[in-house]
Amino acid sequence: MEEAKKNMYAFSTTTYTGFQCTVSEETSEKFKGLPGVLWVLPDSYIDVKNKDYGGDKYVNGEIIPCTYPTYQPKPKQRNGSKNESRKYVRRRDGPPAERRRAGGETSQAGSASA
């Protein structure tokens, strides 16, 4: 276990608790069966070249938390829902708004008058 402590390079402290270390396969097998150990994964599971699995780094005995992307809800629109303008509003008095004139008269376009 001391060998593993000396060779730790990353920790996980947010989603689950775990650590990464460089040890022999024989030493890694000793972790299996210890209380609280759910699994032991080989380095092939991570980015071996950079020793990066996306978790917190462990440098010189200090855990350096990584920044995880977080969900940021979009602010609500001030004018109601985005479908507000698409709602059908039944008008009971007079013709539709686009046919009304400024003086309150209705448009005569398209009507036959003699």
Name the band, by pLDDT with cuts 50, 70 and 90, for residue 26.
Answer: confident
Predicted local distance difference test score (pLDDT) of residue 23:
80
Q: How far apart are CA 109 and CA 86, in angstroms?
A: 26
Q: Which residues in 46-107 belong to E strands, given as ranges?
A: 56-59, 62-64
CA distance 51 to 47: 5
The model's pLDDT over 81-105, given as tens digits with 9 standing for 90+, comes to 566 666 666 767 766 666 555 555 5
pLDDT tens string 48-89: 676 666 667 777 777 777 776 667 777 776 655 566 666 666
Domain ranges of the chain: 2-64
Tell me the pTM: 0.39
Q: Which is more confidently placed, 113 or 7?
A: 7
